[in-house]
Chains A and B, each alone.
Chain A
Amino acid sequence: QSALTQPASVSGSPGQSITISCTGTSSDVGSYNYVSWYQQHPGKAPKLMIYEVSNRPSGVSNRFSGSKSGNTASLTISGLQAEDEADYYCSSYTRSSTPYVFGTGTKVTVL
């Protein structure tokens, strides 16, 4: 099972909005709403930011939002803040031999 494709890096200035894409196939992102997003700061464990495409866990800022169109899911961070600088990974259920697949990861830089 190949990893979902994400851009290696995305950057933005404080206050701006950025969008991270996550491209899969009809065997994963395109057919199921089991897409989630994780934030990971250096040396730390991943943190759940979005689940089931667009749902935010309690305690996650509403500046984070998720969506999906076809085989591509997206994470948008609005009102970018310095603390948002981190790596972000998408994940999806997949109907392959293994049920989970992660994205390649995107490094977000706040300029």
Chain B
Amino acid sequence: QVQLVESGGGLVKPGGSLRLSCAASGFTFSDYYMSWIRQAPGKGLEWVSYISSSGSTIYYADSVKGRFTISRDNAKNSLYLQMSSLRAEDTAVYYCARDPSITIFPYYYMDVWGKGTTVTVSS
């Protein structure tokens, strides 16, 4: 079945780095736009970044621009989020999610979500 599984979360000190991964299965990963969305403890959803199916189009939220890098390996059916210069406010559950468009333009909604991986930034 269609599935997304995140990994790589953990405890990291302020200023540190972490790489999140998202393994996709059950669909042709290389056809789809993918996003990272996060949720701080007790807070709402915040979109973080998206990447087009080929990797040629990338956007970031202002809050992570210059610190986070999204990438994908279509041969490995995997999505990544490299996070650096981490701050306490980056503490959150990070979800990867799929945009259902298989055209060159996204549909701007997410139809499949992973269960999330928790990142805690604390000294």
Binding site for B on A (CB under 8 A): 1, 3, 32, 34, 36, 38, 40, 44-48, 51-52, 57, 89, 91-93, 97-105
Binding site for A on B (CB under 8 A): 35, 37, 44-47, 50, 59-62, 95, 106-111, 113-116
Complex: how many Å from CA A3 to CA B109?
Answer: 16
Cβ A105 vs Cβ B44 within 8 A? yes
Which among B35, B50, B114 is the interface contact of A45 at CB below 8 angstroms?
B114
Complex: how many Å from CA A100 to CA B62?
Answer: 11
Given contacts A98-B60, A98-B62, A102-B44, is CB(A34)–CB(B114) below 8 Å? no
Given contacts A99-B50, A99-B108, A102-B47, is CB(A46)–CB(B59) below 8 Å? no
Q: Please report whether the interface of chain B is mostly helix, strand, loop or mixed according to DSSP.
A: loop
Cβ B44 vs Cβ A89 within 8 A? yes
Cβ B35 vs Cβ A100 within 8 A? yes
Minimum distance in angstroms from A48 CB to a CB of chain B: 5
Complex: how many Å from CA A24 to CA B98?
Answer: 24
Minimum distance in angstroms from A15 CB to a CB of chain B: 28
Cβ A102 vs Cβ B46 within 8 A? yes
Contacts of B62 in A (CB 8 A): 1, 97-98
Complex: how many Å from CA A89 to CA B109?
Answer: 12
Minimum distance in angstroms from A38 CB to a CB of chain B: 7
Closest 7 CB pairs of A and B: A36-B109, A100-B47, A34-B108, A93-B108, A105-B44, A45-B113, A102-B45
Minimum distance in angstroms from A81 CB to a CB of chain B: 22
Q: A36-B109, A91-B109, A99-B108 are in contact. List 6 more A-B contacts (CB 8 A).
A: A57-B111, A91-B108, A99-B50, A100-B35, A100-B47, A102-B44
Which among B35, B59, B109 is the interface contact of A48 at CB below 8 angstroms?
B109
Cβ B107 vs Cβ A34 within 8 A? yes
